[in-house]
Structure 1
């Protein structure tokens, strides 16, 4: 059995703007939360990270430097939406999860596009691994179990999600666990 621990980076310092591929810093000031998450993760043999600065800073604050980074683990590219204030993002209205997963912002990628590259990376993991990534990384991993309904999961900053694999079958142990 292989365990995949996915930690969303600490709160991004975006000034209230969408930062998918925009490289921003993380707020790594909550030492108690980092201590709690580090204890929850425990001993892990391999750490893999998105190359985003916010992910690398989170790994450093955990004292768990990545063994490698992967371009495949970058957050979704929101194209024309990058840098928009959250209140200025277009309202797509109610969409079924599968249709929302296919929606591609102008000049960007859909959730399905992002998940395809992330899942290629995740499916190649053959030992217990901690991934320091993004909300999209977590949802992509969850999509291996629940499909496009993964878009409905909340993924808080500095939250831990754990999946396990036996053969080709993935199961969810827990999602979005944060320090008390």
Structure 2
């Protein structure tokens, strides 16, 4: 949504430096008129873009900025709950009956989704590798131990290929 509002030159009334209507004075009549037009367009875009379930939360909002703040609060709570659920799933994921490729893919997908929800703290390859090592079947522990003694640690892809060859 942010990109669209920026492209339509409406971001300033949503979350920029013009979120509050200018004073209604003779000198600022044109500025106020412009603000009202941009705010109305932004409100219209919000109302046309959101689901019926969210609409009831914004019905009382007086400006596009207020709608943005309301939606941000609602959706970020859901994102934080989803983020916590994914973090818990990542911490508890084990290889079980999955092949090496399936297990690596599952961890990578979880990490990717977590990183999308929390872009300020993306999951590093090293952290991903730690989760993989933690969840591997016991039969792979000797191989992991041998890798830890190497001068140069393998990339995640090299690590996966190494374990794939050991599982054949």
TM-score of the aligned structures, taking structure 1 as reference length: 0.23
* Higher strand proportion: 1
Taking CA–CA contacts closer than 8 Å with sequence separation of 6 or more, which of the two structures ends up with the larger relative contact order?
A: 1
**Structure holding more helix per residue:** 2
Question: Over alpha carbons, which structure has the higher Rg?
Answer: 2
